[in-house]
Amino acid sequence: MHEIDLPAQTAAVRNVLANHGIHPALALLNDRTPYRYTAIYKLNGEIMEAVHVFDRNAEYRSWLKAVPLDKRFCQFAIREGEFTTQHASKDQHQVSPYDGLVESYHGRLLRREDGSPYGTFIHFDVEPRSIAEGEATFLQDVIPLFLEYLD
C-alpha cells in the first residue's frame, strides 16, 4: 500500500491559495470528498455570512448567503472547534430548521491569530455524506492556511 505524502498535499493547497486564490483551493479540497459544497463562512455578530462557496454542480443557491448563527450547524463547530453530522434528519439531537437543505456537514472553526473566531470552513451537502478520518485530520493542518487570504 502506498503511503500518502501529507506534507506534499499541504504544500499543494498552499500553492493553489498563493497562485490561484481561495475558490480554486476550495475546489481542490472539495474534490477530495463526496460533499457537493465547500465553503468559508464568516461570523458577523450573530450572523454567518458565506464569503466563499464552491458548488460542485456550479449552481447558485441564494440560501447559502447568510443565516443566523443559532440556525446553523456552524454554531456547533464554533463552540466545539469541529462538528460533523452525516445524516442530520436521522439525528434527533441535530434537527435543523433547514431540514432538507443541509443533510450532512463537516465544519471546523477558523480562528484568527488573536484567538478570536473568524468563522468556519465547511463541507456540506443536501444528501447524507461522511468524511474520512484521514481527511478530517488533513483539514486540521490546511484550514489555517486560508486565514492569510481572508479579510
Domains of the chain by start residue, with CATH: 6-149 (3.30.450.40)
> Does the predicted TM-score (pTM) go above 0.85?
yes
| Nearest alpha-carbon partner for 86 in 42, 35, 134, 135 | 35
Q: Which pLDDT tens digit goes with each residue over 83-136?
A: 999 988 777 655 555 555 788 999 999 999 999 999 999 999 989 999 999 999
Side by side, the strands of the sheet bearing 66-68 are 66-68, 47-55, 37-44, 117-125, 104-111, 82-85
The kind and range of the H/E element at 19 are: helix 6-20
- pLDDT at residue number 144: 95
According to the model, what pLDDT value does residue 1 have? Answer: 39
Q: Which tens digit of pLDDT belongs to each residue from 24-57? A: 999 999 999 999 999 999 999 988 899 999 999 8
Scanning the structure block, which residue is given the C-alpha cell 450547524?
Answer: 73
Taking each helix axis from N to C end, the angle separating 6-20 and 22-30, rounded to the nearest 10 degrees, works out to 150
